[in-house]
Amino acid sequence: MELLDRYGTWRDLRRVAAPAAAVLLSVAGAVHFAVAAQHFGEWWVYGTFFVLLGSAQCGAGLVFAAGHGRRFADAAGWTNLAVVLLWTATRTTGLPIGPHPWVPEPVTWLDVTATVVELATALACFVVHTAQPDVPAVLPLQYPSGPPCRPGNEEDRRCVPA
């Protein structure tokens, strides 16, 4: 708690967690897109998995940017942890399926980068979970509300141009 007392409140931390999750999800998705072609060369199932994973992560990043609920934050956090566990298995024991069953893959800097980003994403998602049920949008997509501007009330700051 000393960290939060020193640098701000828990509420302040939650406020930056949603935009951080949006960016981190997009970065993880971009990394998976970047290595999809290489994985298609190994086996089409691997390549398809990387394209689907990259799409899901980038899509989740957009959802975080547009606003979301606690259940979505939970799902995104747990899914990213599952991807980290899968990566750990592929680098330690290998997978039981594919062209080379039970043969571990080599660790590369891009692997480690994606894994660190996914761990940070999971942390940000779990911090978002502690927020109120309706997390406000990072990019407000709704239009301002107020009475329509009519001749004579254009100077009223509450009116919305038609």
CA distance linking residue 93 with residue 96, whole number of Å: 9
For residue 162, being part of any structural domain is answered with: no
Please report the pLDDT score of residue 49 as a whole number: 97
Please report the pLDDT score of residue 157 as a whole number: 59
Please report the pLDDT score of residue 13 as a whole number: 73
Predicted TM-score (pTM) of the model is 0.75
For residue 107, being part of any structural domain is answered with: yes
For residue 118, being part of any structural domain is answered with: yes
Please report the pLDDT score of residue 143 as a whole number: 47
- Of 38, 69, 52, 47, the closest CA to residue 131 belongs to 69
For residue 148, being part of any structural domain is answered with: no
For residue 24, being part of any structural domain is answered with: yes
For residue 149, being part of any structural domain is answered with: no
Give the DSSP letter of residue 138: S
Q: State the first-to-last Cα distance of the chain, in angstroms, to the nearest integer.
A: 49
Please report the pLDDT score of residue 17 as a whole number: 87
For residue 159, being part of any structural domain is answered with: no
Domain that holds residue 99: 10-135
- Of 118, 132, 129, the closest CA to residue 23 belongs to 118
For residue 106, being part of any structural domain is answered with: yes
Residues of the chain with pLDDT under 50: 1, 5, 134-135, 141-143
Span 130-160, pLDDT tens digits: 765 544 555 554 445 566 666 665 565 566 6
Amino acid at the residue 160: V
Q: How many domains does the chain have?
A: 1
Phi, psi at 2, each rounded to 5°: -60, -40
Q: Give yes or no for a contact between 73 and 57, defined as CB atoms under 8 angstroms apart.
A: no
